Amino acid sequence: MNFLKKYLPYLKNKYLISLLVLLIVLFVIEDTNVFRLFKLKSDLKELREDNAKKGKSIENIKKKTLELTTNAEALEKFARENYKMKKKDEVIYLFVDKDSINN
């Protein structure tokens, strides 16, 4: 009973009640509550980092494409390494690790 007498004037304050209701709405009930905003902010940060990585990857691919279309030696090297192409009357030996065979 002593507790009620001590805090009853504060609980009758209409500004405090409206503030408490507003905080409950903002933190819990509202669709864009504070917790969701923090999660969306962290997701946005991850997406921006991923976008930066993909931008660097695109730049590397553009450089490789430009080099392959302009340099015949680079094109030959790419064809030999990736598609195992060879010249006429040429023998190629491929060495494969045991680990890469099992995977």
Q: What is the DSSP string of the chain?
A: -HHHHHHHHHHT-HHHHHHHHHHHIIIIISTT-HHHHHHHHHHHHHHHHHHHHHHHHHHHHHHHHHHHHH-HHHHHHHHHHHH----TT--------HHHHH-
Q: What is the pLDDT along the chain (103 residues), one digit of tens a residue?
A: 677 777 777 778 888 889 988 888 878 787 777 788 889 999 999 999 999 999 999 999 999 999 989 998 888 888 888 887 888 888 878 788 877 676 5
Domain ranges in the chain? 1-30, 34-102
Do residues 67 and 74 lie in contact, with contact meaning Cβ atoms separated by under 8 Å?
yes
This prediction has a pTM of: 0.53
